[in-house]
């Protein structure tokens, strides 16, 4: 039996409501509950996000029904590099339509988008504990590059203090900040004046 035909299209104003519905389904499935999802997701917030030049969203359509979505973000690979990448911010397929090739079609759209914008890499952030998703991306050639470890500032302060490695931080008062800025402005004005005098 052949798979149903999936089409992928850019999210436009006409289909933003479909994206909101799927987004809410995604959040409800991940434990947020539909009411919590409704509080977090609003059409205004979505519209604002999609207006950003670095964000692109696609919908997967099957029999005139939106069954999945993909949100991409284009950025530099790091703050000190000119290398660009396309990040898969969210990839979701409605439970009923999984294992029908929907995610693959969405990822094909991601690859085409990355080609279009000249991205040198496509990055997917997959939680390490979600084995099925990790296996899926691994089969498609995504390889691990870094392990992201997360903590809170308070926890890091405690750990550093307990190990005796916490630096002694100098608290800069407001008056000192103001004085530094005045000194910098004075030096800049003096240097500008000297440069103009030398050029005259």
Token pair belonging to 167? 């630096």
Same domain for 182 and 134: no
What pLDDT shows up at residue 157?
87
Q: Give the pair of three-digit tokens for residue 58.
A: 């696609």
Q: Is residue 2 part of a domain?
A: no
Q: 122 and 169: one domain?
A: no
In this prediction, residue 171 carries a pLDDT of 47
Question: How far apart are the C-alpha atoms of 134 and 144, rounded to whole Å?
Answer: 10
Is residue 55, in this structure, part of any structural domain at all? Answer: yes
pLDDT of residue 174: 53
How many Cβ atoms sit within 10 Å of the Cβ of residue 95?
9
| pLDDT of the chain, 200 residues: tens digit per residue | 556 688 999 998 888 889 888 988 888 887 765 565 565 556 677 778 888 989 999 999 988 899 999 999 998 877 666 788 899 999 999 989 998 889 999 999 999 999 999 998 999 988 878 888 889 999 999 988 877 788 888 898 888 888 776 565 544 455 665 666 666 766 666 666 655 556 65
| CA angle centred on 176, ends 175 and 178, rounded to 5° | 65
Verify that 82 and 167 share a domain, yes or no.
Answer: no
Q: What is the pLDDT of residue 74?
A: 92
Q: How many residues does the chain have?
A: 200
Distance CA 184, CA 54 (A): 36
Is residue 119 located within the same domain as residue 170? no
Nearest partner of 111 among 100, 101, 124, judged by Cα: 124
* Residue 1 located in a structural domain: no
Is the sign of the CA dihedral 48, 90, 42, 96 positive or negative?
A: positive
The residue segments making up the domain with residue 31 are 7-150
Residue whose C-alpha is closest to residue 84's, from 73, 94, 92: 73
Give the residue among 110, 101, 94 at the shortest CA–CA distance from 136.
101
Q: How many domains does the chain have?
A: 2
């Amino acid at each position: 039996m052949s798979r149903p035909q999936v089409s992928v299209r850019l999210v436009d104003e006409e289909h933003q409501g479909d994206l909101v519905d799927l987004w809410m389904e995604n959040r409800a499935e991940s434990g947020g509950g539909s009411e919590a999802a409704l509080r977090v997701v609003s059409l205004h917030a979505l519209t604002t996000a999609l207006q950003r030049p670095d964000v692109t969203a696609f919908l997967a359509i099957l029999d005139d029904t939106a069954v999945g979505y993909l949100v991409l973000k284009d950025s530099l690979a790091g703050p000190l590099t000119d290398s660009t990448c396309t990040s898969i911010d969210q990839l979701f397929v409605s439970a009923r339509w999984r294992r029908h090739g929907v995610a693959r079609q969405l990822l094909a759209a991601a690859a085409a988008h990355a080609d279009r914008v000249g991205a040198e890499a496509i990055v997917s952030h997959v939680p390490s504990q979600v084995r099925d998703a990790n296996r899926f991306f691994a089969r498609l050639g995504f390889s691990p590059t870094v392990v992201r470890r997360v903590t809170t500032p308070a926890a890091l302060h405690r750990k550093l203090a307990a190990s005796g490695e916490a630096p002694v931080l100098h608290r800069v008062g407001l008056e000192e900040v103001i004085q530094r800025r005045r000194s910098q402005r004075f030096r800049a004005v003096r240097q500008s004046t000297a440069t103009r005098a030398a050029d005259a």
